[in-house]
Amino acid sequence: MLLREVGYARPGSLGEAIELLAADDGARALAGGQTLINVMKARAGSPDALVDLGRIEELKGIELGADGTLEIGAMTTYTEIIESSEARARPILGAVCAQIADVQVRNRGTIGGNICTSDPTNHLPPLLAALHAEMTIQSSDGTRTVPAADFFLGVYMTAVGPGELLTKIKLPAGRNDGFAAVTLGVEGTCIVSAAASANGSLTIALGCVDAVPVVLAPDSAEDDAIRTAVRAADLDPPSDVHASRAYRRHLAEVLAVRAARQAQGS
């Protein structure tokens, strides 16, 4: 038996889930479990209770608005996004989800879990930051929306507070996006990642170089302007066994340019 003793509940509605989470400081939401269950095995986290969101229909599904806006339920899996015809309105989303881990993980892992983990090496935090996503957070007091730029607060920390749940992610219309990463093996964890959106002015978001995605707005979409913007950010990424600080700084420039070129279709 690997996990510490833990309580478990599987509410059928969003209201019930929020009530259960608010009632117990030691309770944590269980989404796809592809991070949390491993964290619990390693005892890096030991919640007293798990509130399983797996059977709450309100948290699933993808809706495409008439204006091209996508609304994605927090419990939508990577596989559902990859296979969704609605999600193709923003093609980069499925393309990046298809690069996450492997079939088994994509079948269980969710978009909400990916961003609420706020692991700097995850794919979706920089992508959603570049795409100007907006997160809907619900509690017993009502709902609020938080732009991606304010959602990620630190490593493993987001704007979702005690008694709150991320319920959906909203993406504005747009097709001119890009993503580039250097990973640990094909489709492994990111060493450095960059996402770009060129719908209107160019936005770049860099991953794995700080606790949260670093969002940049270069003066122009030219390669030189992008490199200048990355340098001006004065990044101070950590060194680890996979890459030194200097190499990560180098990769950030290269990948920002690659992502921007993809976004601009060149």
Residues that bind another protein (CB under 8 A): 1-10, 20, 24, 27, 30, 33-34, 37-38, 41, 49-52, 54, 79, 101-105, 107-108, 186-187
* Closer of 46 and 264 to another protein (Cβ): 46
Q: Could you count the other beta carbons within 10 Å of the beta carbon of residue 215?
A: 18
Block residue for tokens 């709150």: 164
CB of 211 to another protein, least distance (A): 24
Is the CB of residue 31 less than 8 Å from the CB of residue 74? yes
The CB-of-6 to another protein minimum distance in angstroms stands at: 5
- CB 64 to another protein: min, Å: 24
Amino acid (one-letter) located at 246: A
Closest approach of Cβ 5 to another protein, in Å? 6
Which of 9, 235 has the CB closer to another protein?
9
Q: Which is nearer to another protein, 66 or 103 (CB)?
A: 103
Extract the tokens encoding 124: 């979706």
Whole-angstrom CA distances from 251 to 210, 246, 248, 256 are 14, 9, 5, 8
Question: Please, which residue, 27 or 115, has the CB nearer to another protein?
Answer: 27
Question: Which sign does the torsion angle of CA 170, 172, 175, 177 carry?
Answer: negative
CA distances from 266 to 171, 176, 200, 206, 220 (A): 23, 11, 16, 20, 15
Q: How many Cβ atoms are within 10 Å of 13's Cβ, its own excluded? A: 13
Compare residues 105 and 146 and give the one whose CB is closer to another protein: 105
Provide the minimum distance between the beta carbon of 28 and another protein in the complex, in angstroms, as a whole number. 12
Cβ 170 vs Cβ 136: under 8 Å? yes
**At closest approach, how far in Å is the CB of 107 from another protein?**
4
- Our CB check for another protein shows the closer of 8 and 266 to be 8
State how beta strands 134-139 and 165-171 pair: antiparallel
